[in-house]
Amino acid sequence: MKIKERGLSPLFVIVTFIIVAIVLPSVFIFIRLFHPVTESWLHIKEYVLADYIRNSLVLVTGVGVITGILGTFFAWSLSKYKWRFELLLESILFLPMAIPPYIAGYVYGGIFTPFGTLDRILVQAGVEPIRIDILSKGGAIFVFSLFLMPYVILISKGFFDKLPKTIEESSRLLGRNQTSTFFRVILPMSRGSLVGGIVLVMLEVLNDYGLVRYFGIPTFSTAIYQTWFGMSDVDGAVRLAASLMSIVIIILLVEQFFRGRGRLSQARAISDRGVKKSASKIYKAVFYVLTFVYLLFSLIIPITQLAWWSSIAKQTNVMRRLGSILFNTISVGVIVTVLVVACGILIGNLNRLNPSIVSKIYARIVILGYSIPASIIAIGVLVTFIYVDRSLSGLYGILDVKNLFLTSSKFILIFALTIRFMAIGFNSIESGFSKMGKKYYEASKLLGRGEWYTFRYVDFPILKPAILSAAILAFVDVLKELPLTLILRPFNFDTLATRVYTYAGDEMIHEASVYSLIIICVSIFALILLSFIRKGTKI
Amino acid sequence: MQMNINIDYIWRKEMKKILSIIILAVLLVSVVGCGSEEEKMVNIYTDRHYDTDQALYDKFTEETGIVVNVVTAGSDELLERLSAEGEDTEADLIVTSDVGRLYRAGKMDLTKAFDSNTIEANVPEHLRATDNLWTALTVRARVITYALDRVDPNTLSTYEALTEPEWEGRVLVRSSGNIYNQSLLASFIALNGEEEAKEWAQGLVANLARTPKGNDRDQMKALVAGEGDVAIVNTYYVGKLLNSSDEVEVQVGEQIGVFFPNQETNGTHINISGAALTKYGANSEDAIELLEFLTGEEAQNDYASANYEYPVNEAVEPSDLLKSFGEFKVQNIDLSLLGEYNDEAVKLFNEVGWQ
């Protein structure tokens, strides 16, 4: 058995294939790093880069800190204490992520703009209008935080849920109070999953282009797109993206290094969390107030605004081909989700069973697709697929299919979305694996069970909450994904998100609202479905 | 823990899994599978994403039997896709809402000239490329809007005049990332040279009422709210505002005056939506037929009435709304130059700190 583990296991081979698929488009991007330095790069560097990087840092830090603190608070509260309507509360707290930040940007822009909703309400109430400048860095941090927080909540909660109660009990027995237990024991232990969630949020902020453009805040993404769109210098744009990617990878590797030292193997991870207690009155009050405020700003206000805008949308054509749009959106969503989860499990499993430097590097590479603006990824994927198609042209001749068979099919879209959201799925699955250890796995193998059996009946049930989180995140992310879908889609292929773009891009926010609401509805439906699955399979 | 495993039970569970795999496979095939296409068609890459365009394509299909297939995305991404696809591209036509991108497509050698007397008759010369590499479909003007209650239009004259000290803290405009601002500055580079264009941008930045942000509609709202006194916007969005389904937006629109600058000098800046044949498109003839249709009177009427854009076909009148803004002298410039100087315009914006 030992020998087998040292050799090339099938798992290793499969994972290597996946990693190659992820890396390939990035290779096509990195190659451009070696093209000669362009004049526009020098221009960008001289005039704007420093400012743009500063803006990016402000946004990323602000959003990271806010979502980190509040997200952890929500996750911990939900996981540790008993609440009324707990399941409902939990699902609702995840919902804001169904609203894409750039749509939220339009919504809050529309509320705080002169003659916006706030003005109208104040005028109705006979109060002098006040001017809140939402189109600012503070406003952007506010909007990003509201709608990205669920990433942190979901991933951290998945971890907290599986934390053995004994750890807390030991800490309390050894004389630490509750607060100190949380900050000195729980928090350090859960750093990995926390960082996982916050990193996703930060990357999302870093490569956003829609919201920052509307808000008039030039960021690093702006530099990339300005080089590309404004100065027609694709090489320069790719160079910027590649340097961004390198920085992200270095940060992640450093993080991984530090995390590696504090890692705990948890044999008892599946022990029951026991009966949840009620929180103290003050804690309850704080929790309810914060939850209410959060939901007010992240759901009630935006949905009301969207609903009102939808109601005054010009109805002509808005609902055209809704059936096929829904089918496209949901089928691509389901397929990509399944692929993302499957790849996440494979890579996570390799990392757990045969940890090595290679597998650790693999685990970090997964995040490649998430670390740079999607339009750049799109170019990489496009070039990769065209390359593959051209290599297969002989085969295509025999099969009598068109030259760019794969490139012009939905394969390319599914592929691109899968590598894009691999990070999402993997980060939450990894946080599931990280506290699982391999004792149960080894026990099962010793008892003579095969790999598949062991996975299905031993690992899978333990991992299930993490898998469900990964699935929700991936599915909702695909639902609202825009840049990749836009550019890689085949002819006449519309999704809900592309319809939102169609209208929002033309300042037709009323019509865009209709589709934004449908995205939210589909997400709600998916969340309900998943919470049923979760409820039905409590172990 | 019970280790008493019932084989039958496991078998049933496995069946469920196999079934779900089959369902997934079917889903995959149904999504990925492609239909057989033997009919006549035109494939379009477009960054114009309006319902009116789709309606026009539908009308064209109805009249000719030629099916129109569309991919909508940003024009720069589409050009990149077209360039990567090379000879194998399926696209026959590229449509953009900015002449600079059509010019760029030509420079990247992605387009080819059309040969059609109908298009030449439909579209006046200054709205086509001299080598017929592209043709305009619609026109928009970038104008100065002003607060009716505060600004006397007689104090307005030219874009250049907005850089005078009297306008300090009073000018609203969106960010320089916007293509219409870029083409405006590119036109100044073409007309007056880089030096003067830079001075203009610098002067305007000095007179801005606030940091550039929001879209054109937001500029006009801020204008009426008193954050500034004049705003540089596209006529198209004035039309959108005045025909909004939101009453308050209409009221905002009614408090705004439209002024065509530079009438005494070199004319008001325009940009176009236009189209070009792709170099390797397989259905160029059908694509030309579509272009003839789109520049024809019927389609031009639809463009003009539904979308508040100026028609390119001189036989067609602009909508009543646009006519109410008055006629105007158009900037006398070879539109291709807007594309040629686009890069330089972006750099000037950066140099003068126009965000």
pLDDT tens track for A474-524: 999 899 888 888 889 999 998 998 888 888 877 788 888 999 999 988 988
- Chain mean position to CA A194: 14
| Eight-state DSSP code of residue B95 | E
* DSSP of B33-73: ------S-EEEEEES---HHHHHHHHHHHHHH--EEEEEE-
pLDDT tens track for B133-171: 999 999 999 999 999 999 999 999 999 999 999 999 999
* DSSP of A358-397: HHHHHHHHGGGGGSS-HHHHHHHHHHHHHHHHHHTHHHHH
Average pLDDT over residues A244-269: 64
Contacts of A328 in chain B (CB under 8 A): 31
Tell me what ipTM this predicted complex has: 0.84
CB contact under 8 A, A407 and B85: yes
- pLDDT at position A273 is 55
Q: Are A418 and A340 in contact (CB under 8 A)?
A: yes
Chain A interface test: which of B49, B194, B344, B354 (most A C-beta within 10 Å):
B49
Residue A530 pLDDT > 80? no
* Closest C-alpha to B145, from B207, B43, B218, B68: B218
Contacts of A316 in chain B (CB under 8 A): 51
Contacts of A406 in chain B (CB under 8 A): none
* Closest C-alpha to B256, from B228, B217, B223, B209: B223
Q: Are A224 and A237 in contact (CB under 8 A)?
A: yes
Average pLDDT over residues A285-305: 95
CB contact under 8 A, A375 and B77: yes
pLDDT tens track for A414-471: 999 998 888 888 888 887 787 677 778 888 888 888 878 888 888 888 888 888 888 9
Start-to-end CA span in chain B (Å): 65
Nearest chain A residue to B173 by CA distance is A216
If DSSP states are collapsed to H, E and C, what string results for A267-284? CCCCCCCCCCECCCHHHH
**In this complex, which of A316, A332, A379 lies closest to B80 when CB atoms are compared?**
A379
Q: Residue A323: how many CB atoms within 10 A of its CB?
A: 8
> Rounded distance, CA B137 to CA A2, Å?
71
Instruction: Enumerate residues 6+ apart whose C-beta is below 8 A from A53.
Output: A220
Per-residue pLDDT band at A539 (split at 50, 70, 90): very low
Nearest chain B residue to A110 by CA distance is B218
CB contact under 8 A, B74 and A487: yes
> Rounded distance, CA B328 to CA B331, Å?
9
Residue A399 pLDDT > 90? no
Query: Torsion angle, CA of A206/A212/A217/A220, rounded to 10 degrees?
Result: 30
Residue A21: exposed, middle, or buried by beta-carbon count in 10 A (0-12, 13-18, 19+)? middle
Q: Which residues pair with B70 in a beta bridge?
A: B44
Instruction: Give the angle subtended at the CA of A477 by the CAs of A472 and A478, to the nearest 5°.
Output: 105
Contacts of A320 in chain B (CB under 8 A): 51, 54
- pLDDT at position B35 is 47
> Rounded distance, CA B7 to CA A535, Å?
26
Please identify among residues 6-35 of chain A the ones whose CB lies closer than 8 Å to any CB of chain B.
Answer: none
> Rounded distance, CA A85 to CA A425, Å?
27
Q: Which residues pair with B234 in a beta bridge?
A: B142
* Closest C-alpha to A303, from A153, A89, A92, A55: A92
Q: Are B270 and B330 in contact (CB under 8 A)?
A: yes
**Residue A323 touches chain B, beta carbons under 8 Å:** no
Take residue B75 and report the two structure tokens written for it: 């024009």
Residue B28 pLDDT > 70? no
- Most confident range (mean pLDDT) of B176-180, B212-216, B285-289 is B285-289
Per-residue pLDDT band at A528 (split at 50, 70, 90): confident
- pLDDT at position B26 is 67
Take residue A241 and report the two structure tokens written for it: 């993206």
The residue type of A143 is V
* Closest C-alpha to B310, from B332, B292, B325, B289: B325
> Rounded distance, CA B173 to CA B152, Å?
19
- pLDDT at position B11 is 62
Q: Minimal Cα–Cα distance from A502 to chain B, Å?
A: 5
Instruction: Enumerate residues 6+ apart whose C-beta is below 8 A from B189.
Output: B197, B341, B344, B345, B348
Give the dihedral sign, CA A187/A189/A190/A192: positive
- pLDDT at position A315 is 64
Beta-carbon pairs below 8 A across chains A and B: 170
The residue type of A487 is I
> Rounded distance, CA A430 to CA A434, Å?
6
> Rounded distance, CA A365 to CA A252, Å?
10
Nearest chain B residue to A377 by CA distance is B77
Average pLDDT over residues A334-356: 89
Residue bearing tokens 């003579």: A448
CB contact under 8 A, A491 and B90: yes
Cα distances (angstroms) measured from residue A478 to each of A52, A132, A334, A472: 28, 33, 9, 10
Q: Minimal Cα–Cα distance from B264 to chain A, Å?
A: 31
CB contact under 8 A, B175 and A47: no
* Closest C-alpha to A455, from A466, A444, A446, A447: A444
> Rounded distance, CA B309 to CA B139, Å?
6
CB contact under 8 A, A234 and B240: no
Cα distances (angstroms) measured from residue B208 to each of A51, A52, A137, B230: 20, 21, 19, 10
Q: Are A248 and A203 in contact (CB under 8 A)?
A: yes
Chain B interface test: which of A455, A507, A515 (most B C-beta within 10 Å):
A507
Residue bearing tokens 């795999």: B21
Sort strands B67-72 and B41-46 into parallel, antiparallel or unpaired. parallel
Q: Which of A164-173, A520-529, B75-84 has the lowest mean pLDDT?
A: A164-173
* Closest C-alpha to B236, from B141, B110, B132: B141
- pLDDT at position A329 is 93
Residue bearing tokens 């081909």: A321
Residue bearing tokens 């909450």: A465
Q: Minimal Cα–Cα distance from B266 to chain A, Å?
A: 25
Please identify among residues 422-461 of chain A the ones whose CB lies closer than 8 Å to any CB of chain B.
Answer: 447
- Most confident range (mean pLDDT) of A30-44, A79-93, A159-173 is A79-93
Residue A4 pLDDT > 80? no
Query: Torsion angle, CA of B264/B209/A114/B252, rounded to 10 degrees?
Result: -10
Instruction: Enumerate residues 6+ apart whose C-beta is below 8 A from A150.
Output: A71, A93, A94, A95, A96, A97
Chain A interface test: which of B68, B280, B343 (most A C-beta within 10 Å):
B343
Per-residue pLDDT band at B332 (split at 50, 70, 90): confident
Q: What percentage of chain B's residues is helix, strand, coil (to nearest 5)? A: 50, 15, 35
> Rounded distance, CA B311 to CA B235, Å?
13
> Rounded distance, CA B346 to CA B341, Å?
9
If DSSP states are collapsed to H, E and C, what string results for A136-158? CHHHHHHHHHHHHHHHHHHHHHH
> Rounded distance, CA B155 to CA B153, Å?
5
Nearest chain B residue to A233 by CA distance is B343
Cα distances (angstroms) measured from residue A131 to each of A34, A104, B324: 49, 19, 33
Q: Which residues pair with B67 in a beta bridge?
A: B41
The secondary structure element, H or E, covering residue A195 is helix A191-206
Average pLDDT over residues B219-226: 92
Contacts of A383 in chain B (CB under 8 A): 84
> Rounded distance, CA B304 to CA B235, Å?
12
- pLDDT at position A2 is 41
Residue A261 pLDDT > 70? no
> Rounded distance, CA A421 to CA A148, Å?
15
pLDDT tens track for A196-206: 888 889 888 98
Compute the mean pLDDT over every residue in chain A, rounded to the nearest whole number. 84
Buried/exposed code over A160-187 (b: 16+ C-beta within 10 A; e: otherwise): bbbbbeebbeebeeeebeeeebbeebbe
Start-to-end CA span in chain A (Å): 30
Per-residue pLDDT band at A316 (split at 50, 70, 90): low
CB contact under 8 A, A312 and B55: no
Nearest chain B residue to A375 by CA distance is B77
Take residue A108 and report the two structure tokens written for it: 């809050």
Q: Which residue has the higher pLDDT, A38 or B50?
A: B50
**Residue A120 touches chain B, beta carbons under 8 Å:** yes
Q: Residue B55: how many CB atoms within 10 A of its CB?
A: 16
CB contact under 8 A, A216 and B252: no
pLDDT tens track for A205-234: 988 888 998 898 999 888 888 888 878 788
Please identify among residues 36-55 of chain A the ones whose CB lies closer than 8 Å to any CB of chain B.
Answer: 40, 43-44, 47-48
Q: Which residue has the higher pLDDT, A270 or A174?
A: A174
> Rounded distance, CA B32 to CA A401, Å?
14
User: Reduced to 3 states, what is the DSSP secondary structure of residue B246?
Assistant: coil
> Rounded distance, CA A469 to CA A527, Å?
10
Nearest chain B residue to A316 by CA distance is B51
User: Reduced to 3 states, what is the DSSP secondary structure of residue A270?
Assistant: coil
